[in-house]
A and B are shown apart, each in its own frame.
Chain A
Amino acid sequence: MRIASLLLLVAACAPVHAGDIPLAERRSGYEFMGRETRAMQDDEATSPALFWLLDGETLWKRPDGASPTACVSCHGDARDSMKGVATRYPRVVGGKLVNLEQRINACRVERQKAAPFAYESKELLALSAYVARQSRGLPIAIEADAANQRYLDAGRARFEARQGQLNLACAQCHDDNWGKSLAGTPIPQAHPTGYPLYRLEWQSMGSLERRLRNCMIGVRAEPYAYGAPEMVELELYLMWRARGMKLETPAVRP
């Protein structure tokens, strides 16, 4: 109840104006966490995300589908072939904007002739975590270009539009009021630098889409469906907004 009334106060006072945060001022959610939570992310041997990475490595090598083939059959060692890949998603592939999970599923369907993994399934999380892990430490490399410009604009419009019963835009908290406290918790800038990540609240690994759905439930909006175009456009905008920041996958967040 308290959170709702605080948010209403913010909604009443702050006009919606968005601003791209300059690279020098961009701060990852990592910096808004306590020291001990950061240590959970840093020590990979004891990170709660470890098991998903191990499962991802197993899935990478496991033959599947009609032939059957494994990811490793075409892509070889992920540590080489997947390096840098996650920093460039979402991207336009075959005329359609797709995120990393959708790209993995497209490969499963088209090349392995296997069934796609369900969104938020253990397998899809494990595989996308494993693939994205190969880009850990690399800067997010989304650039606006002719192919993605209209998706980027659509994503930005969603970030800046008021939504939900609380009539709040993402920008109002995450552009205009980041760093301030909301009911005892600091408001981060909302850069998706570590997805998929282990959210302590979920006690499990989850994707950016799951987190965005949580945000939308937070403002009492109808959350976008997993894999919906609106969702992927917003992911593209968020990754573009975080360009230049280092990927931390798999991150740990409260």
Chain B
Amino acid sequence: MTSRRQFLGLAAGALAAAKAHAQLDPNIAVKRRIALDSAIAKVTRGAKLREGKVKLEVPPLIDNGNAVPMTVTVESPMTAAEHVKVIHLLTEKNPQPYVLSAYLGPRAGKARLATRARIADSGRVIAIAELSDGTYWSQTVSVIVTLSACLEDGLI
């Protein structure tokens, strides 16, 4: 933790610098939604995104956004003829929308994936599955991210 003396020194230095790094863009919500939408468009290559077949399990109330367990399951026989090719995870409120892209195939046996993600703020999490027939399916879950109490950063 910075001592008072160190902090005053840093503050003086920061004032001297012209940039305002810590300022958040006032249009950030809009920009992030646009980034998410374009990421989804890129992932689906413009194809229609349908709701269904995908089950995204993520806690609706998140204890801490630094490590959010999530599991994606997709209904699919996982045969050579009919299987899930890719599973994508994306979020709305992060500095960039991508979380993970997992490439499966018939050897997976089941279309099931689990990981732990970082979610910066309350908003939507989206799981998208690309099937072998070229269709795209998704499920969207809205989550609330809470902050832990009593942090180390004394400047909040």
Interface residue ranges, A against B (CB under 8 Å): 3, 33-37, 39-40, 48, 182-185, 187, 199-203, 210, 213-215, 217-218, 220, 223, 254
Q: B62 and A203: CB pair below 8 A? A: no
Q: How far is the CB of A138 from chain B (nearest CB, A)?
A: 26
Q: B146 and A48: CB pair below 8 A? A: no
Q: B69: which A residues are within 8 A, CB to CB?
A: 36-37, 39-40
Q: How far is the CB of B48 from chain A (nearest CB, A)?
A: 32
B11 beta carbon closer than 8 Å to chain A: no
Q: How far is the CA of A34 from the CA of B61 in the complex (A)?
A: 8
Q: B64 and A201: CB pair below 8 A? A: yes
Q: A214 and B63: CB pair below 8 A? A: no
Q: B1 and A254: CB pair below 8 A? A: no
Q: B63: which A residues are within 8 A, CB to CB?
A: 33-34, 37, 185, 200, 254
Q: How far is the CB of A163 from chain B (nearest CB, A)?
A: 13
Q: A200 and B67: CB pair below 8 A? A: yes
B81 beta carbon closer than 8 Å to chain A: no
B147 beta carbon closer than 8 Å to chain A: yes
Cross-chain pairs A/B with CB under 8 angstroms, 28 sampled:
A34-B61, A34-B62, A35-B59, A36-B59, A37-B59, A37-B63, A37-B69, A182-B149, A183-B147, A183-B149, A184-B147, A185-B146, A185-B149, A187-B149, A200-B63, A200-B67, A201-B66, A201-B148, A201-B151, A203-B66, A210-B152, A213-B152, A214-B152, A217-B153, A217-B154, A218-B149, A218-B150, A220-B154
Q: How far is the CA of A37 from the CA of B65 in the complex (A)?
A: 11
Q: B66 and A200: CB pair below 8 A? A: yes
Q: How far is the CA of A213 from the CA of B150 in the complex (A)?
A: 9
The closest CB in chain B to the CB of A40 belongs to: B69
